[in-house]
Amino acid sequence: MPSRATSVPSYDLPCILAHAPFLGAAQEAIQLLFDGTRTKYAARKVLMLLDIDDDPADYWVVVLVWVCDCARKMLIPWLLLGLAGNCLAKIYEDVSDLPGLDYDFVIVGAGAAGNVVANRLTENPNFSVLVLEAGVSNEGVIDAIVPFFWANLSAEPNIYEWNYTTTPQVGLNNRSVPYSRAHILGGCTSHNAMVYTRGSAEDYNRWADVTKDPGWSWDSLLPYFFKNEKWTPPADKHDTHGEFNPAVHSTYGINSVSLSGSRWPIFENQVIQTTREFPEEFPFNLDYNSGEPLGVGKLDPIYYRWRQAKLIGDIIPRTKIHTATEFTCSAARTSLEACGSTDHRGRRDLRRGGIFARYMYSVKERTQFTFLQADPFFTAKASKEMILSAGSVGTPAILLNSGVGDKSALTALGITSVLDLPSVGQNATDQPAIFAEWSVNSTQTLDPIEQNTNLLNEAYAQWNASRTGPFTNIGTTHIAWTRLDANSPIFESVTDPAAGPKTPHIEILVGTGSESGDGPTGNFINFLMVMLTPTSRGSITLQSNNPFDPPLIDPGILITDFDLFAIRESIKKAYRFVEAPVWKDYIIAPTVNFLNMSTDALDEFIRNTSSPAAHMVSTAAMSAKDASYGVVNPDLLVKGASGLRIIDASIIPFIPSAHTQAPTYVVAERGADLIKARWK
Ligand SMILES: Cc1cc2nc3c(=O)[nH]c(=O)nc-3n(C[C@H](O)[C@H](O)[C@H](O)COP(=O)(O)OP(=O)(O)OC[C@H]3O[C@@H](n4cnc5c(N)ncnc54)[C@H](O)[C@@H]3O)c2cc1C
């Protein structure tokens, strides 16, 4: 991948907008004035032309615009809302600046789920909401803004990462591998690959079955996908006919979703021609987000990274939401001494500013989180509910540190149990992934940009100037979703773990460029094979009673025979894909020839090179209300607790055949509605 940029261009308008509530309102105002449509593109251009930034003097320009067109009565509420938002809502980096510590709702974790929940709750102007985020602000973090730079933030230890490492993985020849979790506003949405996939309808119908709540079925959740998604034209404005099905997307949500904004026509034609030459094995699928993903479809949609930050912007203009960042939130059970000044694996100094939080599970007191920033110890109270949205690693870690989990395991660590819930941290599920790549007979790949500094700078300049070009994307152009052969020998001993016959076992992300991005010369294509339906399970547990110690992360990769078989088959499927005649003159050679390997050698290679896809779910899984296992009920309230809900990827009962951001959004959208219904 390209080297990391160090400075933020001063004209990074969307980023400014994301953090300037007044400008957010002004943007809406100008949009209504000049454009008359709900597309924000025109408004952004106007703001750019007027050179408006968050300098207070520039507000007068917007006021002037407003005065000039008083007839547009629609402006008034937007401007008032913007002004109100400016006065009442803010991101705080010092907890002592917060206007108070008593709220209706306190949310821990400003990631995919937490931000959506905060956004939705603050639609009710009577609700006050505090979001506690351990990570630093995402403002101006160029690697979180430019899609092409996405991998930089998780490539090596840095302040935007929790810098976790897994326990030694038996299935990976006892390797401990990095386990990426974002430590930044936006959570993993700020550093992930932006691939938008929902999974199959059968995935969600299984959630409904296992929880006995039809509200979690595909049909019930589709309106929530729509409520969340805002379909947006691709950056290059290309004709998207035949690349997606508008009927299964929405234009009125809060998270922008789009198609890739730059093209690799030669490579893309290769892929589409494969669907014609191998229509049985790799049929074309117009839109794999329809609930029936099997087949090959355009990488669509993909998030506009710089618009993801807008999510925060959408929150801020609403009143009474306070987002506190740059704290390190963990759980404490007893006393302040436990906080100490321990650093985090020697990589980050918590004393700089950390939340040290505990969920006070008490029926007598109002529910509360106690947290630390630097030395003072603060207590945030929620008169209505505490909501854990700290993700599949953070949420169980907070629960366990608060004494909510398996009683005997906690007692053994010297942690007083307050609620015996053995499923906390168990059932961790992630998808193993492995790369393959081929050198190719084409210069139209991503490699020249990565190999040549001038081209890299040109691409960056293009992105800065117009938000177009190769930096609008990751290198992947399509995804092939496929199943294991029905007569595979593994099914003689293992029940098919897929949610149904229309659910894929295997995902192949196909893209241009060398995976490592650091080949000195040559042109490559790369395929990433993800095994979507693992039967292996891991866990999140604690190593000590010191809440500053990182949790033990065991994603349980490739433990079972099924998982090893399926990832082996995924490689064979990938090689089969490039056996289509169209690849004959295009491909030169694989960089590693898996097909020449014996099964044992292939297994060894797999165990030495696979890694988790970082899609962990199920560590605080939802189950039916009367189930003897699970952590939350179908309404996402913690079993046996009061006033505590979990809304994030950890509650997902079975991993969907998908990347997990869109599924987490849909959990958050429904979760927010469940809360609103309770407190209306
Ligand atoms: C490298 C990477 C690439 C990925 N690529 C994709 C992709 O392309 N497409 C896709 O769909 N999914 C992808 N995912 C997965 C997706 O990002 C996650 O499933 C999703 O973000 C989960 O949302 P969440 O709200 O549960 O948790 P997160 O988004 O992780 O948010 C949790 C937040 O809680 C905060 N937090 C944690 N502990 C504490 C604490 N103790 N106190 C206070 N705050 C705390 C964290 O700092 C974080 O901001 C990727 C994930 C990673 C790591």
Higher-pLDDT residue of 342, 266: 266
Average pLDDT over residues 533-561: 94
Average pLDDT over residues 453-475: 89
Average pLDDT over residues 161-177: 95
Q: Give the distance (Å) from ligand 1 centre to CA of residue 119.
A: 17
Q: Give the distance (Å) from ligand 1 centre to CA of residue 392.
A: 8
Q: How does residue 35 score in pLDDT terms, banded at 50, 70 and 90?
A: very low
Is 195 annotated as belonging to a binding site? yes
Helix (H) or strand (E) holding 573: helix 561-577
Average pLDDT over residues 390-407: 93
Tokens of 472: 């609008």
Is 210 annotated as belonging to a binding site? no
Ligand 1 atom nearest the C-alpha of 135 is 47
Q: Give the distance (Å) from ligand 1 centre to CA of residue 664.
A: 9
Question: Does pLDDT of 326 surpass 70?
Answer: no
Q: Where exactly are the structural domains of the chain?
A: 1-88, 195-303+432-533+559-609
Question: Is the minimum distance from the CB of 135 to ligand 1 under 6 angstroms?
Answer: yes
Average pLDDT over residues 173-181: 96
CATH superfamily of 195-303+432-533+559-609: Glucose Oxidase, domain 3 (3.30.560.10)
Tokens of 348: 């980050």
Question: Does pLDDT of 168 surpass 60?
Answer: yes
Protein residue closest via CA to atom 27 of ligand 1: 391
- How far apart (Å, rounded) are the C-alpha atoms in residues 250 and 275? 27
Q: Which of 19, 249, 344, 615 is catalytic?
A: 615
Average pLDDT over residues 4-19: 26
pLDDT at 327: 37
Select from 182, 672, 641 the least CA-distant residue to 399: 641
In sequence order, what E strands does 291-401 have? 295-298, 302-303, 321-324, 358-360, 368-372, 377-388
Ligand 1 atom nearest the C-alpha of 658 is 11
Select from 117, 111, 56 the least CA-distant residue to 321: 117
Write out pLDDT tens, residues 239-281.
989 999 999 999 998 888 888 888 899 999 999 999 999 999 9
**What is residue 80's three-state secondary structure?**
helix
Q: How does residue 84 score in pLDDT terms, banded at 50, 70 and 90?
A: very low
Protein residue closest via CA to atom 23 of ligand 1: 112
Q: What is the DSSP string of 191-232?
A: TS--B-----HHHHHHHHHHHT-GGGSHHHHHHHHHHHEEE-
The Cα-based distances of 296 to 271, 283, 611, 660 in angstroms read: 8, 6, 24, 19
Q: How does residue 38 score in pLDDT terms, banded at 50, 70 and 90?
A: very low
- How far apart (Å, rounded) are the C-alpha atoms in residues 106 and 122? 12
Q: How does residue 337 score in pLDDT terms, banded at 50, 70 and 90?
A: very low
Q: Name the amino acid, one letter, at 39.
A: T
- How far apart (Å, rounded) are the C-alpha atoms in residues 370 and 350? 16
pLDDT at 62: 59
Tokens of 36: 């008359």
Contacts of 365 (CB under 8 A, 6+ apart): none
Is 478 annotated in the active site? no
Quickly tell me which residue has 């690799």 as its tokens: 264
Protein residue closest via CA to atom 42 of ligand 1: 329
Question: Does pLDDT of 16 surpass 60?
Answer: no
Question: Does pLDDT of 85 surpass 90?
Answer: no
Residue 393: alpha-carbon gap to chain centroid: 13
- How far apart (Å, rounded) are the C-alpha atoms in residues 354 and 260? 38
Question: Is the minimum distance from the CB of 143 to ligand 1 under 6 angstroms?
Answer: no
Is 338 annotated as belonging to a binding site? no
pTM for the full predicted model: 0.84
- How far apart (Å, rounded) are the C-alpha atoms in residues 154 and 181? 8
Write out pLDDT tens, residues 421-439.
999 999 999 999 999 999 9
pLDDT at 344: 27
pLDDT at 519: 62
Question: Is the minimum distance from the CB of 113 to ligand 1 under 6 angstroms?
Answer: yes
Average pLDDT over residues 375-392: 84
Q: Give the distance (Å) from ligand 1 centre to CA of residue 261.
A: 24
pLDDT at 583: 98
Ligand 1 atom nearest the C-alpha of 186 is 49
**Do residues 428 and 660 lie in contact, with contact meaning Cβ atoms separated by under 8 Å?**
no
Question: Is the minimum distance from the CB of 648 to ligand 1 under 6 angstroms?
Answer: yes
Q: How does residue 2 score in pLDDT terms, banded at 50, 70 and 90?
A: very low
- How far apart (Å, rounded) are the C-alpha atoms in residues 680 and 678? 6
Question: Is the minimum distance from the CB of 107 to ligand 1 under 6 angstroms?
Answer: no
Sign of the dihedral through C-alpha 401, 403, 404, 410: positive
Question: Does pLDDT of 154 surpass 60?
Answer: yes
Helix (H) or strand (E) holding 512: strand 506-512
Which of 22-36, 64-78, 387-401, 420-434 has the highest mean predicted lDDT (pLDDT)?
420-434
Ligand 1 atom nearest the C-alpha of 668 is 25
Question: Is the minimum distance from the CB of 373 to ligand 1 under 6 angstroms?
Answer: no
- Angle, to 10 degrees, between the axis of helix 599-609 and the axis of helix 561-577? 100
Question: Is the minimum distance from the CB of 388 to ligand 1 under 6 angstroms?
Answer: no
pLDDT at 475: 85
Tokens of 557: 């990769």
Question: Is the minimum distance from the CB of 616 to ligand 1 under 6 angstroms?
Answer: no
Is 659 annotated in the active site? yes
Q: How does residue 54 score in pLDDT terms, banded at 50, 70 and 90?
A: very low
Ligand 1 atom nearest the C-alpha of 330 is 41
Complex ipTM over 0.95: yes
Q: Which of 322, 478, 505, 659 is catalytic?
A: 659
Q: How does residue 319 score in pLDDT terms, banded at 50, 70 and 90?
A: very low
Q: Give the distance (Å) from ligand 1 centre to CA of residue 189.
A: 6
Mean pLDDT of the chain: 80
Q: How does residue 227 score in pLDDT terms, banded at 50, 70 and 90?
A: very high
The Cα-based distances of 156 to 153, 347, 468, 549 in angstroms read: 7, 11, 27, 20
Is 668 annotated as belonging to a binding site? no
Tokens of 582: 């169209």
pLDDT at 42: 43
Question: Is the minimum distance from the CB of 348 to ligand 1 under 6 angstroms?
Answer: no
Q: How does residue 131 score in pLDDT terms, banded at 50, 70 and 90?
A: confident
Question: Does pLDDT of 584 surpass 50?
Answer: yes
pLDDT at 87: 35
Average pLDDT over residues 286-298: 95
Higher-pLDDT residue of 360, 370: 370
Question: Does pLDDT of 340 surpass 50?
Answer: no
- How far apart (Å, rounded) are the C-alpha atoms in residues 322 and 102? 11
Q: Which region among 76-80, 136-140, 182-186, 346-350 has the lowest average model confidence (pLDDT)?
A: 346-350
Q: How many CA atoms lie within 13 A of 139 on its CB side?
A: 15
**Do residues 311 and 186 lie in contact, with contact meaning Cβ atoms separated by under 8 Å?**
yes
